[in-house]
Amino acid sequence: MRVQTLAIVVCLLAGPASAAAQDRVQGGVLAGPSAASLSAKADVVPPDYTTRAGFSAGLFIVSPVRHHVAFEPEALFTLRGANGADNITSVSLRVTYVDIPLLARLQSVSHGRTSAHVVAGPVIGIRLGARETLVTAAGTSVVDLKDQSSGGAMSLAVGAGVDVGRLRLDVRYNRGLSRLNTDTRARLEIKTRELTVLAGVMLW
């Protein structure tokens, strides 16, 4: 009985997305995991960062589709970071943002309830918090990095996805354009790179 009820709910959510729906503003929720890291350049040997799991969740709006093109602004709470280590210290960096993607959306022709889309555009990031956890032989310490990190960030997102009725699934790559660090000694530049998988539901 529970399996039948779940199947009915999924069918309702994936109900027909008619052509008329594309003539009005639509919106819903998105959420999913990410894998993020940092790229660093400097006059000296820069830190070597590895990937760390993250998460994004928030809202999206899609404007009426005209000639297969629409505008899709979003507001996402995003947790990202990176890990690093040398012979003495291991480092775990965690940064939280409100990301505002401003995406151009190219929509394919629908085949029944299914269509595909690609998105691309700038992402404005507003930093909420930043901290670094250092682990050495002497113990563990947590450092607040707000004063050492930029309060805002710019990046470029590109991605593709599929829509099935009210449901959607996206894969995106986000490349940082602006420097995250405020300390520019040795001409150090740290930027983000991130791969995200987002599942969403159209609510209106």
Q: Could you tell me the domains of the chain?
A: 29-202 (2.40.160)
What average pLDDT score do residues 20-27 get?
78
Q: Give the DSSP letter of residue 181.
A: B
What average pLDDT score do residues 80-85 get?
84
Question: Does an H or E element contain 2, and which?
Answer: helix 2-13
Residue-wise pLDDT tens digits, 106-128: 999 988 899 999 999 999 999 99
- Please tell me the least confidently modeled range out of 7-11, 49-53, 67-71, 159-163: 7-11
Q: What is the pTM of this model?
A: 0.83
Residue-wise pLDDT tens digits, 168-198: 999 999 999 998 888 777 677 888 899 999 9
103: tokens are: 């995406």
- Please tell me the least confidently modeled range out of 6-20, 37-51, 116-130, 169-183: 6-20
Nearest Cα residue to 169 out of 53, 52, 13:
13
Determine how many CB atoms are found less than 10 A away from the CB of residue 63: 15
Q: Is 141 exposed, middle or buried (0-12, 13-18, 19+ CB in 10 A)?
A: exposed
Question: Does an H or E element contain 32, and which?
Answer: strand 26-41
CA distance linking residue 23 with residue 16, whole number of Å: 15
